[in-house]
Amino acid sequence: MSRGVWKGWSHGATAALTMELTTLSRRSKTQTSAHYSLGDCRVEDFAAIVEQPVDLDDFPLADRIDQGVVLYESNSLRSRLGEATGRLEAQAEFVRVLDEGPGVLILAGAFSDDGVLDAATDVFRGIIEAEKAAGTAAGDHFATPGANDRVWNALEKFAVADPDVFIRYYANDMLALICEAWLGPRYQVTSQLNQVNPGGKAQNPHRDYHLGFQTMESAQAFPRHIHQMSAMLTLQGAVAHVEMPMETGPTFLIPNSQKYGPGYIASHLPEFQEYSNQRAVQVPLGRGDAIFFNPALFHGAGENVSDDVRRLGNLLQISSAFGRAMESIDRARMIKAIYPSLVTWKASGAPEDDLRNAIAASAEGYAFPSDLDSHPPSGSEPPPAQADLVTMALREEWSPTRLATALASL
């Protein structure tokens, strides 16, 4: 497919857009307030940013642009990862897409092992049905009540329900690649399942955690630099567990919207929601595709108008080691559940990278906060984290009991 530029629904010539962006830049430099306010929220400013074109030539590793969304074929990326600089080049490009580019990318075929994907889908649907039967099923926080089936803390529930499938699923190389690109090492994975049933309505356009989970009034209390920092602490993603053609309502997106400064306030305003709904694009996903985006991107789940497709996605929220994850997870319980499976998989010849990725997705990778009376740091070296203990346990062939004792001492 030829390389080119996606121009969107432009309301003016490039020269006019350039002038508008220059005006916005000058305005930001003369701001005296340390905080955003309602007076900073102007749809025309938002439109000038959102309607910037997305040029495929800016992202040489990508395969195409679809309505402003940058799409990569995972197998093409995998062929480059063995090169000396291939991994770093891919990660640098991901950061450009998420930060200064359109803010969203798709990794086509990221989860390419059909057996693992099928097994994980069965586990997920089993968890959904079990929670329905127990009367503990949850609703969607951004959609009409009853429209969707939502499972919180799906990560821990998955690990306990089927450790063998869990470690193979989260050993995924594309997931580790983009998590490390945006967040660096020792990231924290959390997961929620969202199954949008036929007739399920669309969500409202919104931004995500951290500041996306504050009221408009609360968001205004945080200074501007915290608005910028919020998006750097989290990566949002989703794995398609079924084919998601347009009629199933795949995630709607407003490319470039993550670059709008007061967006955590503006996303609550009716005029911004109306504009976002008009500008939103949707890209169909294939089973096993993964989409990742800057959490400051305006987005939402689409309406499922299909007759019989239950649109199941594993929603991934990955946090920096230096930020607080939204969910409280019993990672020690997860480790105890999956450790025997890790031992067996390692003995069967599992690649070191796969084991490392599975550990990163489950164990706590950062040692702080810590009881410094019991575990004081040595110089600038932090005390061991859960992930360090699990790695050591696998290498030294600890028993599950010994590992459990070591975890309890942290």
Q: Is 165 exposed, middle or buried (0-12, 13-18, 19+ CB in 10 A)?
A: buried
Render pLDDT for 96-147 as a digit per residue (tens, 0 to 9).
Answer: 999 999 999 999 999 999 999 999 999 999 999 999 999 876 655 555 555 6
Give dist(CA 171, CA 76) in Å, integer. 19
- The reported pLDDT for the residue numbered 258 is 98
pLDDT classification of 376: cutoffs 50, 70, 90:
confident
pLDDT of 1: 38
- 89-95 average pLDDT score: 98
C-beta neighbour count of 217 within 10 angstroms:
10
Angstrom CA distances, 115 to 123, 168, 220, 337, 402, stand at 12, 10, 47, 21, 33
Instruction: Please list, in sequence order, all residues whose beta carbon lies within 8 angstroms of the beta carbon of residue 293, skipping any fewer than 6 positions away.
Output: 98, 103, 104, 105, 236, 237, 253, 258, 299
Q: What is the pLDDT of residue 372?
A: 85
| Residues in Cβ contact with 45 at an 8 Å cutoff, skipping those fewer than 6 apart | 24, 260
38 Cβ partners below 8 Å, 6+ apart? 216, 220, 265, 269
**pLDDT higher than 60, residue 28:** no
Q: CA 112 to CA 345: how far, in whole Å?
A: 19
At the topology level, CATH places domain 1-329 in Jelly Rolls (2.60.120)
Give the pLDDT score at 2: 37
Across the range 256-265, mean pLDDT stands at: 98
State the pLDDT at residue 3: 42
Q: What pLDDT is attached to residue 370?
A: 87
Nearest-angstrom CA–CA distance, 364 and 368 = 10
Q: Measuring CA to CA, how many Å separate 395 from each of 136, 164, 186, 233, 390? A: 40, 19, 19, 31, 9
Closest Cα to residue 236, out of 185, 276, 179? 179
pTM reported for the whole predicted model: 0.90
Tell me what pLDDT residue 379 has: 80
Distance, CA of 270 to CA of 268 (rounded, Å): 7
Residue ranges per domain, the chain? 1-329, 331-408
